[in-house]
Structure 1
């Protein structure tokens, strides 16, 4: 069904419903190309609609690139509801900085993405490597690692290989720890360590006793804005921590 009639409102709604039905048929998630086949749509049309549904919260894109229904991303409805409390702050951060915004938490021994708020002009980083395998290469992950005590950090690093994702990735444990301990708190940065051409800046947040991080990603040629980004991140982190603490 490869017509591009496509952009009429009724047809767009039909595409959305067909893709939602295809996603619902895969409880564990499915990639865009599989969902396109299930919905009988061209891959580019399906991807456009999937992105729109994800931006609006109807769907959620997992670390491996697959899509699931927005209300059951990890089987933890309560945790997702709490993460949803932070969405307005993340949306404001995205709009203020013209950058995709991310929220993570350290749960069950892994650093996991809880929320991403992006948009057509502020695309998220392509999560080409599952996030739980890339904590050492992202500002979000390194921010969490720096806030851990020495025992918890050592336990985490003993279970995770420091994979070489770009020529800039830190792949030696001692070097990573030196960086974590030497940079001024609380802001953490990665400079094209996860994705060439992309910079990420993050600060810590908390959901009760659960440690997490809040960050944004942007093109490396916008590095000149880092002081402005830091100020907005710190303000937003305070808001997110309050929302998650008192809104729960």
Structure 2
């Protein structure tokens, strides 16, 4: 271990335990460091944004707060993955949670069922939103301007014989759909697989829960979708879920 890193981390821990801030002498005592060493490290941590100094006291800075938020996001993702894994095993399907963030489709978490592997991302999910239930469900929740912006950046093209053929075909499909309705597609993204997705409320961004199964197990799809829709609060609310994950 690098001693200076250990000492800097002890100072950060000491500062984190003092919400109102603390002077250098108090932080040095809490970290068990000589005052000159503490001063040197405090200056470095302040320069790098991990601490900030106001009126002679040190508090956690923006860089340290970003680390904290990243840790919280990782915990949220892990908890969500565990919840999806349990549901996938129970229902015998693959389950996905996805959001539309900063103009792109993002699969936040997924879980396999015991005999149903998740769909392999053989074509970039972000560029093929028109061809899978996840993307179609997210696009259906967008306003016209945001949807057209997406299509201008990711042109529609068929990737299987069952995919929508062009942007006009996709627009017709989305125009006749209520944003709250589930979306189903059969072999549009990958041959041999059927998928379904429905919108969920998880913050200001568009979000969706989705299910996929092999065509040979297609009878599982709609019951699994119905079960997920009836338990969406169980999946989301207990996690203190935030779209920031």
- TM-score normalised over the length of structure 1: 0.63
* 1:200 equivalent in alignment to 2:186: no
- Output the CA distance in 1 between the equivalents of 2:159 and 2:115: 26
In terms of Rg, which structure is larger? 2
Q: Of residues 88, 106, 128 in structure 2, which corresponds to 1:94?
A: 88
Aligned partners of 1:203 and 1:233 also within 8 Å: no
Distance 1:225 1:157, change over 3 A: same
Note the C-alpha offset of 1:118: 1.4
- Output the CA distance in 1 between the equivalents of 2:145 and 2:234: 29
Note the C-alpha offset of 1:153: 1.1
Kindly tell me the number of residue pairs found equivalent between the two proteins: 173
Q: Cα RMSD (Å) of the superposition?
A: 2.2
Distance 1:109 1:228, change over 3 A: same
Instruction: Return 5+ residue gaps in structure 1 as ranges.
Output: 1-75
Aligned partners of 1:93 and 1:232 also within 8 Å: no
* 1:107 equivalent in alignment to 2:101: yes
Note the C-alpha offset of 1:77: 5.1
Aligned partners of 2:92 and 2:114 also within 8 Å: no
Instruction: Return 5+ residue gaps in structure 2 as ranges.
Output: 1-69
Aligned partners of 2:201 and 2:207 also within 8 Å: yes
Distance 1:226 1:247, change over 3 A: closer
- TM-score normalised over the length of structure 2: 0.63
* 1:210 equivalent in alignment to 2:205: yes
What's the counterpart of residue 219 of structure 1?
Answer: 214
- Output the CA distance in 1 between the equivalents of 2:101 and 2:220: 32
